[in-house]
Structure 1
């Protein structure tokens, strides 16, 4: 609702436009996005749980991966939860404060996530290209410091940007052409001079994205060179299969975010940003599910053994005998 302050009407509530062209399919879209949301949350929760429970996964890579999975849960929850309400109930309004909070959570976790991707890329580079030095270069303490640095760098940058946006005047219109409160569309609704804030947003997001992208490109370029030196064609094919799946997801993540944020003038492309944002918040988390769980043998093994232990424990209390259960399980999973 607007609130009168002198000659200026400050908008205290916005309307998220969502996807007006397909809004009549709200119930179907709600179900599709709900399934995608649940799949992403469950898969990331499994990664965090397994890496915490299995001592063999207490390594720098899986520590970083569990943090990254937690960030994914936070990002998709901050964005998709409101989209689900729009699809199901048609409630498109959001208060100014809630809008700023959603934008901050999305940008802070997103910025920390991209910096964390650079850390994961460096970890893979050291593990593959410098295997003899891996345990001395990338131990858990070093990894913890790098992860902490990602959050320590992202927090003041995003906080400063959101504070600057909160100081702008909004006197109408109040319809945000997006399905969540991203700062780009919000800034362009301001009736005050937003050019300096718009440029600040461009500089900060470009710095975070391009810094992470450059580090990732350098790391994976060295990894690909190392793969090319493998003597066996079978080893090359296996390594490229894993590496290519990572690169596909990274390309989607960086491509969509560069399309949205790394351009100084966004006004003419705000509508197309919605599709790119949907790829980044829905599609890539599901692809991460495939890469880090369904195609990860270590996580597979840890999950399989955890499920076996749970079933054995239950059979001890209620079942006909542990030996029979183990024979039954071994017919599905070689132990």
Structure 2
């Protein structure tokens, strides 16, 4: 058979979630609802931030970027998974699998970077409130956003290019519901030890460095908040950080469990469940956390709602 990228396999089979035909249909309905709610809630945040002038600030500019990211992040994997549930067709082409791998790495990398940028924004807003508008000006925000997307784009290539070079000559069954790095690497006929080292090194840098920067930012934020004279001021300052900190804990906790354990190539029974939460549930929780805990967003939603029905 003619091969591309040193492989004799032109398609893979995503084993996905086990279960009867009835259970697969139930999976389809549940995750379709979750996916549609994810698109709806994140689109709602983008729309409200865009049309409400009172939300035209750096904090909501980055929140808008984050919501846009959370639309595309599940879109890379969930539609194919839903199609498999509905039709029973679990195959994915070799090219489609590697494309899915790239965009998953790209958007996942982007999430670490953007969460770090949002922590820096909160640090400047709370620790240097008088200089905030000067430091976080429109030009800087746009440059930071462009730099964040560019960084994610480049890191996506760094993580996924080895996948294009691997040779797949034996099994084509991926024990997952999308083309993730480790399940795909287990099928490679070529030596993957060098890539494991690169992946682990990249993962530690990409995940733990942003996490360290976020922790340092919040140490300064907390010390500044505790020095505020009024209890109301402290509560207001804390309220602007709780949503972001909650999302950070959920996202980084999931990633560290799945990718930064001692032997990431070793699979566990909980892997699919954790990945499912990471890919489907987290993108839905993020806008809900931000909107339900943010009074300004709720007020903006009410203003937009009243304009529509006035």
Same fold (TM over 0.5): yes
CA 94–23 in structure 1, closer or farther in 2 if over 3 Å, else same: same
CA contact (8 A) 1:12 1:95 kept: yes
CA contact (8 A) 1:71 1:109 kept: yes
- The aligned residue for residue 280 of structure 2 is 282
How far is 1:9 from its partner? 6.3
CA contact (8 A) 1:165 1:197 kept: no
Q: 1:194-247 CA deviation, whole Å, 9 max, x = no partner?
A: 111222222223221112111111112222222333444455456556644433
- The aligned residue for residue 309 of structure 2 is 311
CA 88–49 in structure 1, closer or farther in 2 if over 3 Å, else same: same
Question: Which of 89, 92, 100 is matched with 1:91 structurally?
Answer: 89
Q: 1:7-47 CA deviation, whole Å, 9 max, x = no partner?
A: x8611111111122577511222111111111111111011
Residues 9-24 of structure 1 aligned to structure 2 (within 5 Å)? 10-20=8-18
Identify unmatched segments of 5+ residues in structure 2. Answer: none
- The aligned residue for residue 252 of structure 1 is 250
Residues 34-183 of structure 1 aligned to structure 2 (within 5 Å)? 34-183=32-181
Q: 1:114-168 CA deviation, whole Å, 9 max, x = no partner?
A: 1011000000111112111101111121111111111222222221332221111
Partner secondary structure for residue 94 of structure 1: strand
Partner secondary structure for residue 14 of structure 1: strand
How far is 1:268 from its partner? 2.1
How far is 1:291 from its partner? 2.0
**Structure ranking higher on relative contact order (CA contacts 8 Å, 6+ apart):** 2
Runs of 4+ deviating beyond 6 Å: none
- The aligned residue for residue 289 of structure 2 is 291
How far is 1:48 from its partner? 1.0
CA 250–161 in structure 1, closer or farther in 2 if over 3 Å, else same: closer
CA 276–109 in structure 1, closer or farther in 2 if over 3 Å, else same: same
CA 259–298 in structure 1, closer or farther in 2 if over 3 Å, else same: same
Identify unmatched segments of 5+ residues in structure 1. Answer: 313-335
How far is 1:273 from its partner? 2.5
Q: 1:275-310 CA deviation, whole Å, 9 max, x = no partner?
A: 222222222222212222222222222222222222
Partner secondary structure for residue 20 of structure 1: coil
CA contact (8 A) 1:176 1:185 kept: yes
CA 39–254 in structure 1, closer or farther in 2 if over 3 Å, else same: same
The alignment yields a C-alpha RMSD, in angstroms, of: 2.1
Q: Pick which of 247-256 and 61-70 moved more.
A: 247-256
How far is 1:82 from its partner? 1.5
Partner secondary structure for residue 193 of structure 1: coil
